[in-house]
Structure 1
Amino acid sequence: MNKTTFAHGQLKSIVERIERLEEEKKVIAGDIKEVYAEAKANGFDTKILRKVISLRKKDAAEREEEESMLDVYLAALGMIPGAGEEAA
């Protein structure tokens, strides 16, 4: 087997593995969509549920930093009651 034949075989194998994984990803995405639909049918707010899932992926320090930056931005936009706007 020469290098070109090996490279073609390797490339084909990689492409086929990626295609299988993409198909699995589609199936999993469909399963996740069904769970969100079930949650919605049971009265849960799926937008909030997605935010909870997002927050659970982060560690405490990362969440605190994000919340702190959000507070800074909201205060700068005058969206936090009692937090005086800085001069623009």
Structure 2
Amino acid sequence: MSDGNINDQLRLLVERAERLIEERKGLNEDIKDVMLEAKSLGYDVPTIKWAIKERAIERAKRQETSALRETYAVQLGLDF
């Protein structure tokens, strides 16, 4: 591959990454707007963020984690 092709390839990769970063900024702003809307409607934003993370986890793994947390809570004398 010639230096010109390598330079073009590198430039294209950098430009593509820059576009994706800009898209991500826009998406982050959109998510922030959704959370502000949820808050204005009286919802608890940290709990919504927790629910989003939990929904991304497979059910079996979520159940396993929940069982471990309950076991640890009992051992530490935490009441729920």
**Matched ranges for 1:34-49 at <5 A:** 34-49=33-48
Moved over 4 A (4+): none
**Matched ranges for 1:4-83 at <5 A:** 4-80=3-79
- Structure 1 or 2: more helix by fraction: 2
**Amino acid in structure 1 at the alignment position of 2:10:** L
Q: Distance in 2 between matches of 1:75 and 1:18?
A: 48
Kindly report the root-mean-square deviation, in angstroms, between the aligned alpha carbons of the 2 structures: 1.5
Q: Please give the secondary structure, in 1, of the residue aligned with 2:57.
A: coil
What displacement does 1:3 show?
1.9
What displacement does 1:21 show?
0.2
Q: Which structure 2 segments of 5+ residues have no match?
A: none
**Amino acid in structure 1 at the alignment position of 2:31:** I
**Amino acid in structure 2 at the alignment position of 1:31:** D
**Amino acid in structure 2 at the alignment position of 1:68:** A
Identity of aligned residues (%): 35
Q: Which structure 1 segments of 5+ residues have no match?
A: 82-88
**Amino acid in structure 1 at the alignment position of 2:51:** V
**Amino acid in structure 1 at the alignment position of 2:48:** L
| Structure exhibiting the larger radius of gyration computed from Cα positions | 1
What displacement does 1:80 show?
4.1
1:30-82 superposed Cα distances (whole Å, 9 cap, x missing partner): 0000000000000001111111111111111111111122223323322147x
